[in-house]
Amino acid sequence: EDQVTQSPEALRLQEGESSSLNCSYTVSGLRGLFWYRQDPGKGPEFLFTLYSAGEEKEKERLKATLTKKESFLHITAPKPEDSATYLCAVHASGGSNYKLTFGKGTLLTVNP
Amino acid sequence: NAGVMQNPRHLVRRRGQEARLRCSPMKGHSHVYWYRQLPEEGLKFMVYLQKENIIDESGMPKERFSAEFPKEGPSILRIQQVVRGDSAAYFCASSPGPDYEQYFGPGTRLTVT
């Protein structure tokens, strides 16, 4: 069974204090790994897709990286508006390769 | 370019009633997915549909739950005879194909009293 584990469950940072969120996954074969941001009371907002080990994607203060077993979401000099829950999901190959399997998320709070 | 639309945003039902949740995918997307998010849990896949076809319903409870995506109109997730355990946020997502990223709607928050 596909599994996604995110750590830490919650992270509190001061504005400007860089850090990383971790997403460990176990799948039979990886078609893609996705990062989403979810604000309270809203739907997940797509951030990145990563397809192969070594791949990196960047958007503003966020950079996502991928290895064969995990992905990191690096946040550089975060601002209070980066506060949200960050979700990681995998899209497995073979069989039911339509669904995304999500982790429980990391709740990020950035204090001014 | 309108995103994924869901309605209603909030729905309150008494035990035993029916709940109907609607989802209109993004323009140009013909693939729709439904997920459920329970408090303190991650998003769980329920069903994947293309126009007029259910492709994968492996995550949907066998009883009381059904989904459709007709040729015309929105996708519908139907829950019959709701129970308190059905209270959750239900999200719809759409994509232009099965290997593309999925874009999510704002969700419908179902409360069963």
Q: Do B42 and A96 touch (CB under 8 A)?
A: no
Count Cα atoms within 13 angstroms, Cβ side, for B48: 17
Instruction: Judge contact between A48 and A65, C-beta under 8 A.
Output: no
Nearest CB to A43; choose among B45, B91, B98: B91
Cα separation, B35 vs B74, whole angstroms: 16
Q: What is the pLDDT along chain B (113 residues), one digit of tens a residue?
A: 579 999 999 999 999 999 999 999 999 999 999 999 998 788 999 999 998 899 999 999 999 999 999 999 999 999 999 999 999 999 999 999 888 899 999 999 999 99
Cα separation, B98 vs B50, whole angstroms: 10
Q: Do A98 and B41 touch (CB under 8 A)?
A: no
- C-beta atoms surrounding B87 within 10 Å: 16
What average pLDDT does the structure give for chain A? 95
Q: What is the DSSP letter of A81?
A: G
Q: Does A59 touch chain B (CB under 8 A)?
A: no
Q: Find, in chain A, the residue whose alpha carbon is nearest to that of B4.
A: A43
